[in-house]
Amino acid sequence: MKRPRRQKHKKNMHVFRSPNYMNKNDNIAPNPPQPNKGLCLHTNANTDEELVRNSTYKFNSSVETLINDSETSRFAVYNRKNGVKKVPRRQNAWIIYRRDKSISPEFAGTPSKFISKDIAKMWDNEKKETSDFMDKFLWYMCYFNS
């Protein structure tokens, strides 16, 4: 079986393209980055704190209940039983949203697996602002409000 031939290096082939790279005769390198100029990655001017404080989102339970670790989980029982305090994983926005929604009366008496499926559908139908708010809320409450 023959080995495929190596391609020869093509002249005028550059890694970085200029803004009008379709012009084959254009051999201009891109402008170098400006080291003293700041780069803003946020498109939203509001800070996380402003977003959390000015939100109109209504929680079904207290904020402390949502962000505190569970006392009845298998992990908490294991910690109590063995006299250790291993720190659980940080909760993400979906978990906070699920904890908040599962407390509502519409899910009273419903098995957990059905609650999770229903809340997952609700989460998928939520606006992007709600998921962003949950992320920012969690970050703010866990790290800046402790």
Interatomic CA distance for residues 144 and 121, integer angstroms:
31
> What is the pLDDT, as a whole number, of residue 40?
54
90: region left, alpha or beta (phi > 0 left; psi from -120 to 50 alpha): beta
Joined tokens for residue 15: 């890694």
Could you tell me if residue 34 is inside a domain? Answer: no
Could you tell me if residue 40 is inside a domain? Answer: no
Interatomic CA distance for residues 94 and 85, integer angstroms:
25
Per-residue pLDDT of the chain (146 residues; tens, 9 = 90+): 677 766 665 555 555 554 554 555 555 666 676 777 665 555 554 666 676 677 777 888 877 777 777 888 888 899 889 988 888 777 888 888 898 898 888 998 999 889 999 999 999 998 888 888 888 887 777 666 55
Interatomic CA distance for residues 52 and 54, integer angstroms:
6
> What is the pLDDT, as a whole number, of residue 45?
47
> What is the pLDDT, as a whole number, of residue 121?
94
- Residue partners of 37: CB distance under 8 A and separation at least 6: none
Give the up-direction half-sphere exposure of residue 93: CA atoms within 13 A in the CB hemisphere.
Answer: 15
Identify which of 102, 78, 101, 75 has the alpha carbon closest to the alpha carbon of residue 89: 75
Could you tell me if residue 126 is inside a domain? Answer: yes
Could you tell me if residue 15 is inside a domain? Answer: no
User: How many structural domains compose the chain?
Assistant: 1
Could you tell me if residue 93 is inside a domain? Answer: yes
Could you tell me if residue 118 is inside a domain? Answer: yes
Residue numbers of the domain that contains 93:
48-143
Interatomic CA distance for residues 50 and 117, integer angstroms:
32
